[in-house]
Amino acid sequence: MNPDIQTWIDQLRSGDVRTLARAISTVENRAPGWSELLKALFPHSGKARVLGLTGPPGAGKSTLVDQLARFYRRGNDNDNDKDKRTVGIIAVDPTSPYTGGAILGDRIRMQEHFSDPGIYIRSMATRGSLGGLARTTADVTTVLDASGRDLIMIETVGVGQDEVDIVRLADITILILVPGMGDDVQTIKAGIMEIADIFAINKSDRDGAEHVEREIRTLQSLAMRHDGWTPPIVKTIASQGVGIEELADAISDYEAYLQKENLALHKSVENWQERLIEMLRDALLEKARTQLGDGNLARLAAEVAEHKRDPYTLVEEIAARLTR
Amino acid sequence: MNPDIQTWIDQLRSGDVRTLARAISTVENRAPGWSELLKALFPHSGKARVLGLTGPPGAGKSTLVDQLARFYRRGNDNDNDKDKRTVGIIAVDPTSPYTGGAILGDRIRMQEHFSDPGIYIRSMATRGSLGGLARTTADVTTVLDASGRDLIMIETVGVGQDEVDIVRLADITILILVPGMGDDVQTIKAGIMEIADIFAINKSDRDGAEHVEREIRTLQSLAMRHDGWTPPIVKTIASQGVGIEELADAISDYEAYLQKENLALHKSVENWQERLIEMLRDALLEKARTQLGDGNLARLAAEVAEHKRDPYTLVEEIAARLTR
């Protein structure tokens, strides 16, 4: 192994936050050595519990995630050290590149937890990662996992296919809803409702919390989960710290259920089937791009745009030529 | 060519709506013959103008699209037949599969236009099309285009990467915003603001329309477009038909600009570069899936899940074996 990478890994595993930040950037930007780094880190990963938290814009996801992080940093009972967990947070923000909101929010949140090196927050911008955001998030999760964080929380706005793919990475998925968003359940991306292991109704002191709960119950009655788990509904007011312990309890319950039914490994195998296919797709595409060359691609695209060639036949021909 | 497909094409080109619906379903569901159908249809496509319309949930996209469709069906001036255009609408709804909202909305909207076969509406569900929605929408656009529709409008909620990819297909992209959504501009997916050729502020009789306009102008002042076009801002109240003609004028202006600067072909070549790469990626993945086999994939995924194998090296090995 590259000696540099071995040094990185040693520093990373010793808890050095600057090395962690650098390793994540390397992976996120596909900077030189990213692939070697991931290969070397993978054997150290697999110990962290991964929570995925998603919901519509304005549901108070960041506040809830911050409160949960604080809760886990305090530990669950009187024996403070026993349940205390180190936390990594990956915030995937669909913020415009104009406003730089992701980076700003990142800094503000980091400052809040500044005194506690046991909480590490990283924002990921969605721009520029055409279809690859879920993959990058997965890779960053591997880095955080290998660095020894006990708990990794991935928060994202639950509105697109990317976001569904991202929360799919998690061992436990929490869908955060809020009262008074009208047809909020309906603006949530198809597929998100189905994968929620736990529902949190945040800002539950607002009018309409019961209505949201009834809506969830109705949807639940329409479709049974394969694994027999009925996702509990927890009411929270994250800004006041209300319901955080109950939410953590619900998380524990589901963790115990996963353990008892041996579902965690099963879920992981399913996830890896998806991820391997995605990784293979990217690897093949990379090869295709290289072999095709930008000049060729531009020429072929022009022929198709001018309707001199049909793209469907063309792609079949290229694929046949590239593979054996 | 398969004689069945020739019959389809003849019926489709004669304007038969049932054949159109069947052809779209075939392409959307990747039913047998979909690829042959697209190959045969492609030479007949390329004549339609494609409008992409996107915006946040609740912006009134459907109403605006319906009003625009009516406007184009009436024709632009006194000589009713001259500017009258046939319209195809593709509505991409992020509606939960539980509620069946897409199909219901579809029926209601179809009924409204029932008396006019010159308007055809098709809803596409987002479920089940993992990462492939933009591609399917593009293929359905090809079908509508080849069927002889003059104008194709693609409407979608502008919140995810899928939606950015979908509106990228269009010749002309319209971003629909509404007053009073607070940080509405910021909840729009990064990348959408940049590709809007025209802004519509709908429900512009509400408080805050000026504020939205100022926000857009501010964002515009931060980034110049490569093509030198300054996207106009049109205020509409779609439910009352207000501003529709102005919006159509803005569309005409941009069409003229595209023509004058020869930008339409340039845009199309760029789009096809992206699309060819995506199609190639899918074709290669399909080959990979076939050659790998489900059983093998499950076994490898289990080995990775149990951390017996590192996925990064594994994927490199498979990719090397598959390609030449």
Q: Report pLDDT digits (tens) over B245-275.
A: 999 999 999 999 998 878 888 888 988 988 8
Which of A10, A25, A44 is where one domain is finished?
A44
Residue-level pLDDT at A1:
62
Residue-level pLDDT at B80:
55
At A290, the amino acid letter reads T
Considering only alpha carbons, which residue of chain B is nearest residue A135? B312
Bridge pairing between strands B172-177 and B151-157: unpaired
Structure confidence by residue, pLDDT tens digits, A89-112? 998 865 444 334 445 555 566 666
Answer whether B268 sits within 8 Å of A305, measured CB to CB: yes
Tell whether the model's pLDDT for residue A206 goes beyond 50.
Answer: yes
First to last CA, chain A: 31
Residues of chain B with pLDDT > 90, as a percent, come to: 40
Tell whether the model's pLDDT for residue B141 goes beyond 60.
Answer: yes
| Cβ–Cβ contact B96 with A under 8 A | yes
Tell whether the model's pLDDT for residue A317 goes beyond 70.
Answer: yes
Q: Is residue B7 part of a domain?
A: yes
Q: Is residue A266 part of a domain?
A: no
Structure confidence by residue, pLDDT tens digits, B34-81? 999 999 999 999 899 999 998 877 788 889 999 999 999 986 555 555
| Cβ–Cβ contact B322 with A under 8 A | yes
Cβ B61 vs Cβ B158: under 8 Å: no
User: Which position has the token pair 């194709």?
Assistant: B152
Retrieve residue B66's tokens. 């319906």
Considering only alpha carbons, which residue of chain A is nearest residue B282? A281
Residues B174 and B285 in one domain: no
Report the residue of A39, A104, A161 to disrupt the B interface, i.e. the one with the largest count of B CBs within 10 Å.
A161
Q: H-helix or E-strand containing B54?
A: strand B49-55
Cβ A83 vs Cβ A75: under 8 Å: yes
Q: Quote the minimal CA–CA distance from A30 to chain B in Å.
A: 13
Answer whether A130 sits within 8 Å of B165, measured CB to CB: yes
First to last CA, chain B: 31
Answer whether B276 sits within 8 Å of A97, measured CB to CB: no
Retrieve residue B152's tokens. 């194709």
Answer whether A276 sits within 8 Å of B159, measured CB to CB: no
Report the residue of B36, B45, B141, B161 to disrupt the A interface, i.e. the one with the largest count of A CBs within 10 Å.
B161
Answer whether B312 sits within 8 Å of A185, measured CB to CB: no
Chain-centre distance for alpha carbon A21: 17
Retrieve residue B11's tokens. 């019926």
Residues A4 and A127 in one domain: no
Confidence of residue B124 (pLDDT cuts 50, 70, 90): confident
Structure confidence by residue, pLDDT tens digits, B167-181? 778 999 999 988 876
At B55, the amino acid letter reads G
Considering only alpha carbons, which residue of chain A is nearest residue B193? A96
A5-9, A249-253, B283-287: least confidently modelled range? B283-287
Residue-level pLDDT at B190:
55
Residue-level pLDDT at A9:
92
Confidence of residue A23 (pLDDT cuts 50, 70, 90): very high
Considering only alpha carbons, which residue of chain A is nearest residue B268? A305
Residues A13 and A40 in one domain: yes
What average pLDDT does the structure give for chain A?
Answer: 83
Residues A198 and A79 in one domain: yes
Q: Is residue B16 part of a domain?
A: yes
Question: CA B69, CA B92: separation in Å to the nearest integer?
Answer: 17
Most trustworthy range by pLDDT among A222-226, B145-149, B268-272: B145-149
Residues A165 and A206 in one domain: yes
Residue-level pLDDT at A74:
86
Which residues have CB under 8 Å from B205's CB, separation 6+?
B237, B242
Cβ A301 vs Cβ B298: under 8 Å: no
Question: CA B51, CA B166: separation in Å to the nearest integer?
Answer: 11
Most trustworthy range by pLDDT among A249-258, B265-274, B312-321: A249-258
Q: Quote the minimal CA–CA distance from A235 to chain B in Å.
A: 23
Cα pseudo-dihedral B3, B9, B15, B20, rounded to 10: 100
Retrieve residue B16's tokens. 């038969």
- Read off φ and ψ for residue A36, nearest 5 degrees: -60, -40
Which of A215, A235, A261 is where one domain is finished?
A261
Which residues have CB under 8 Å from A38's CB, separation 6+?
A27, A139, A142, A143, B312
Structure confidence by residue, pLDDT tens digits, A152-161? 999 987 656 6
**Chain A residues with beta carbon closer than 8 angstroms to that of B280:** 285, 288, 292, 315, 318-319
User: Which residue among A95, A125, A186 places its CB closest to the CB of B96?
Assistant: A186
Answer whether A315 sits within 8 Å of B279, measured CB to CB: yes
Answer whether A319 sits within 8 Å of B280, measured CB to CB: yes
| Cβ–Cβ contact B222 with A under 8 A | yes
Average the pLDDT over A229-255 and give the result: 96
Answer whether B98 sits within 8 Å of A193, measured CB to CB: yes
Retrieve residue A102's tokens. 């992701």
Q: Is residue A34 part of a domain?
A: yes
> Does pTM top 0.80 for this prediction?
no
| Cβ–Cβ contact B306 with A under 8 A | yes
Answer whether B45 sits within 8 Å of A307, measured CB to CB: yes
Q: Is residue B287 part of a domain?
A: yes
Q: Is residue B272 part of a domain?
A: no
Answer whether A311 sits within 8 Å of B98, measured CB to CB: no
Answer whether B96 sits within 8 Å of A125, measured CB to CB: no
Residues B121 and B95 in one domain: yes
Q: Is residue B269 part of a domain?
A: no
User: Which residue among B165, B279, B319 places its CB closest to the CB of A311?
Assistant: B279
3-state secondary structure chain A: CCHHHHHHHHHHHCCCHHHHHHHHHHHHCCCCCHHHHHHHHHHHCCCCEEEEEEECCCCCHHHHHHHHHHHHHHCCCCCHHHHCCCEEEEEEECCCCCCCHHHHHHHHHHHHCCCCCCEEEEEEECCCCCCCHHHHHHHHHHHHHHCCCCEEEEEEECCCHHHHHHHHCCCEEEEEECCCCCCHHHHCCCCHHHHCCEEEECCCCCCCHHHHHHHHHHHHHHCCCCCCCCCCEEECEHHHCECHHHHHHHHHHHHHHHHHCCHHHHHHHHHHHHHHHHHHHHHHHHHHHHHHCHHHHHHHHHHHHCCCCCHHHHHHHHHHHHEC
The strand pairing partners of A39, in sequence order, are none
Residues A169 and A240 in one domain: yes
Average the pLDDT over B278-306 and give the result: 87
Retrieve residue A312's tokens. 């469907």
Cβ A304 vs Cβ B276: under 8 Å: yes
Q: At what angle do helices A3-13 and A17-28 cross, to 10 degrees?
A: 130
Structure confidence by residue, pLDDT tens digits, B267-290? 889 889 888 988 888 888 888 888
Structure confidence by residue, pLDDT tens digits, A276-294? 988 888 888 888 888 788 7
Average the pLDDT over B116-126 and give the result: 81
| Cβ–Cβ contact A76 with B under 8 A | no
Q: Is residue B271 part of a domain?
A: no
Which residues have CB under 8 Å from B103's CB, separation 6+?
B123, B125
Answer whether A302 sits within 8 Å of B269, measured CB to CB: yes
Question: CA A52, CA B287: separation in Å to the nearest integer?
Answer: 32
Q: Which of the two residues, B109 and B235, has the higher pLDDT score?
A: B235
At A100, the amino acid letter reads G
Structure confidence by residue, pLDDT tens digits, B69-79? 999 998 655 55
Residue-level pLDDT at A31:
87
Structural domain boundaries, residue A289: 277-322
Residues B254 and B129 in one domain: yes
Question: CA A154, CA A165: separation in Å to the nearest integer?
Answer: 12
Residues B114 and B247 in one domain: yes
Tell whether the model's pLDDT for residue B100 goes beyond 50.
Answer: no
Residue-level pLDDT at B129:
47
Considering only alpha carbons, which residue of chain B is nearest residue A304? B272
N residues, chain B: 324
Residues of chain B with pLDDT > 70, as a percent, come to: 81
Residues A126 and A202 in one domain: yes
Average the pLDDT over A3-30 and give the result: 89
User: Which residue among A130, A190, A281 places its CB closest to the CB of B96?
Assistant: A190
Residues A207 and A142 in one domain: yes
Cβ B187 vs Cβ B215: under 8 Å: no
Report the residue of B98, B219, B291, B300 to disrupt the A interface, i.e. the one with the largest count of A CBs within 10 Å.
B98
The strand pairing partners of B124, in sequence order, are B92
Average the pLDDT over B208-229 and give the result: 82
| Cβ–Cβ contact A271 with B under 8 A | yes
Question: CA A99, CA B186: separation in Å to the nearest integer?
Answer: 8
Structure confidence by residue, pLDDT tens digits, A140-199? 999 999 999 999 999 987 656 666 777 778 999 999 988 876 554 545 555 667 778 999
Question: CA A14, CA B309: separation in Å to the nearest integer?
Answer: 24
Cβ A137 vs Cβ A124: under 8 Å: yes
Residue-level pLDDT at B313:
94
Residues B312 and B232 in one domain: no
Confidence of residue B131 (pLDDT cuts 50, 70, 90): very low
Answer whether B57 sits within 8 Å of A187, measured CB to CB: yes
Average the pLDDT over A231-246 and give the result: 96
Query: Is residue B29 packed enough to be buried (19+ CB in 10 Å), middle (13-18) or exposed (0-12)?
Result: exposed
**Chain B residues with beta carbon closer than 8 angstroms to that of A291:** 323
Answer whether B38 sits within 8 Å of A312, measured CB to CB: yes
| Cβ–Cβ contact B220 with A under 8 A | no
The DSSP symbol for B43 reads: G
How many Cβ atoms from other residues are within 10 Å of residue B226's Cβ? 7
Question: CA A236, CA A245: separation in Å to the nearest integer?
Answer: 9
Selected residues 132-191 of chain A with any CB under 8 Å from a CB in chain B: 133, 157, 159-163, 165, 182, 185-191
Domain tally for chain A? 3
Retrieve residue B124's tokens. 């596409």
Which of A232, A261, A290 is where one domain is finished?
A261
Considering only alpha carbons, which residue of chain A is nearest residue B281? A285
| Cβ–Cβ contact B82 with A under 8 A | no
Q: H-helix or E-strand containing B281?
A: helix B263-292
